Chains A and B, each alone.
Chain A
């Protein structure tokens, strides 16, 4: 049997998700953002919610996320995506709203907006891409940068005395009563990607079922600013990020008895 026999539409097992646009992504080769976008496109199509989903893109490398997934998008100011999403979700309670945010966007300039949106239990999904650095602006320290990690603004490594400690914002968010599902995932291996897709799917299902805020952190790489190859970056992430940002569910009350849950009043 030759290649031509195998390469036949009847034998297709994997292709580019239909909800991704034809635009070539502007991300660096091997950037985690591309994988997360792909999972979002798959989940939105699987759940058949492309006509009622509104994405809110951040300021950060993913500012152009709106160029890649065939849904309505609104672009927010740096850190304000949760407030923008709140406005959309409150005034359109039957729509599915999600924010897509980096660690600088979500855990530094937008800390107030994310904590309060989660604490109010806004009915939305948050996709939090934590690459431990400010990718877009050229690799400065992020709130999530590890101690000792070299960045453009911590050339000798992050020093707690000078720069403060890395912020585990997902742990804070898991404590807020408004969140129903809080999880930390990654996209560095086929298995982790499949798991991450399940988590994103569960988060969107929770939004469809109006269960408050669901929050998916994706521990990610920024090979460009980490100054490593994409393959090396994944290894560095496993060795250095995972011990501090441990993957796994932090909270799951999506199965909780609806009677015990206070739904958002509009």
Chain B
């Protein structure tokens, strides 16, 4: 499977989580916090903490630790830029 991480193409295996793909791309943080702008990645690994949020195919707030990748997924780190209208 082929997926894109912040525009760059990577190969992924079926059954891999988005978090695994992100780590495989050399990242251990992909979300910026709202107040302090701090980096966050995985913390609980099982869908409880919501630290690992990422944008998948244009949809925000996807838990990278839970979501399995699908072929062609467009994965982007999540920040606080205003949504285009």
Chain A complexes with chain B: no
Q: Which residues of A contact B (CB under 8 A)?
A: none
